[in-house]
Amino acid sequence: MEFLYFKEIRRLLDQVEQEESGAMEAAVTALTDAILKKNTIYVFGASHAGILAEELFYRAGGLVVINPIFGRELMLDTSPITHTSRMERLEGYGTLLVGKTSMKKGDVLIVHSVSGRNAVAIEAALEAKKRGALVICLTNLSYSKSVSSRHTCGKNLYEISDIVIDNHGEKGDACVAIEGIEQKVSPTSTVIGASILNSIVAATAQALVEAGVETPPIFYSANVDGGDELNRRIYEEYKENIHYNF
């Protein structure tokens, strides 16, 4: 048996590494500068796109200074689950979510949206830019360019972002064709997106060390001896840029 999904993911990872290195390097610079200047980094995504916000948050080996923006109505434990689709299309919700934060000039917002067309992601980016923050978006450019905006501004996410990283997936996200089935199966955006963002985290840690930072804000595992104490020490050093309860 051939597991075609592995083949497709390897192809996409190679393509992303080759074609998105410039955008990823720009993202590393943005995150590094924000940390050095004591500015704040936020991350947002709706429904399955929000899985990457959870991936970056409170994770061993991740950046302590990543602040997720969670919308209760967009989480995957919402019932009925179709309510998440209605909420991500509702104008005004994205503005309210960013409005609950302390986002300011010099901060960074990472927004993940595969199609980049729904109101909540677009509004989050618009409100962030209104406040003077830099917006990094992770999206699927070919997909997004083939669909219309669901926001009255008439633009998709990539058109209003400062740094655009393309996940190079297919329209509709699923990638494996099965004979006899019209709909492809197995989406790629979570695997590829997590690889992109964790690569950026690693490169940011390296850049901070090269800039002379002795203790980069990286989480230790809470399941190793001394991990809790080390994490508390890092929290105290960077607490001005941490806006979640620790």
Express each pLDDT in 63-95 by its tens digit: 999 999 999 999 999 999 999 999 999 999 999
Residue 134's φ and ψ, nearest 5 degrees, are -90, 135
Q: What is the mean pLDDT of residues 173-199?
A: 96
Q: What is the pLDDT of residue 246?
A: 84
Would 148 be classed as within a structural domain?
A: yes
Would 103 be classed as within a structural domain?
A: yes
Q: Dihedral (C-alpha) 110, 115, 116, 117: value to the nearest 10 degrees? A: -150
Q: What is the pLDDT of residue 47?
A: 95
Mapped to the 3 state alphabet, what secondary structure does 187-210 carry?
ECHHHHHHHHHHHHHHHHHHHHHH
Q: What is the mean pLDDT of residues 150-161?
A: 98
Express each pLDDT in 208-225 by its tens digit: 999 999 999 999 999 999
Express each pLDDT in 111-124 by its tens digit: 999 999 999 999 99
Q: What is the pLDDT of residue 2?
A: 84
Q: What is the mean pLDDT of residues 192-198?
A: 98
- Alpha helices of 60-118 — where are they, by DSSP H? 82-88, 93-99
Q: What percent of the chain has pLDDT over 90?
A: 98
What's the CATH code of the domain at 64? 3.40.50.10490
Q: Are 153 and 124 in contact (CB under 8 A)?
A: no
β-strands 108-112, 174-176 pairing: unpaired
Would 246 be classed as within a structural domain?
A: no
Q: What is the pLDDT of residue 130?
A: 97
Supply the Cα-derived Rg of the chain in whole angstroms: 18
Would 186 be classed as within a structural domain?
A: yes
Q: Are 91 and 116 in contact (CB under 8 A)?
A: no
Would 144 be classed as within a structural domain?
A: yes
pLDDT at 1 over 80: no
Please give the residue range of the domain that contains residue 62.
Answer: 4-241
φ/ψ region of 138 (left if φ > 0, alpha if ψ in -120 to 50, else beta) reads beta
Residue with tokens 């980069």: 216
3-class DSSP state for residue 138?
Answer: strand
With a CB cutoff of 8 Å and minimum separation 6, the contacts of 107 are 34, 39, 40, 41, 42, 128, 131, 132, 133, 134
Q: What is the mean pLDDT of residues 140-162?
A: 97
Task: Categorize the per-residue pLDDT at 28 as very low, low, confident or very high, splitting at 50, 70 and 90.
Answer: very high
Would 76 be classed as within a structural domain?
A: yes
Report long-range pairs for 221-228 (Cβ below 8 Å, ≥24 apart).
221/60, 221/61, 222/60, 223/60, 227/60
Number of domains present in the structure of the chain: 1
pLDDT at 245 over 90: no
Q: What percent of the chain has pLDDT over 70?
A: 100
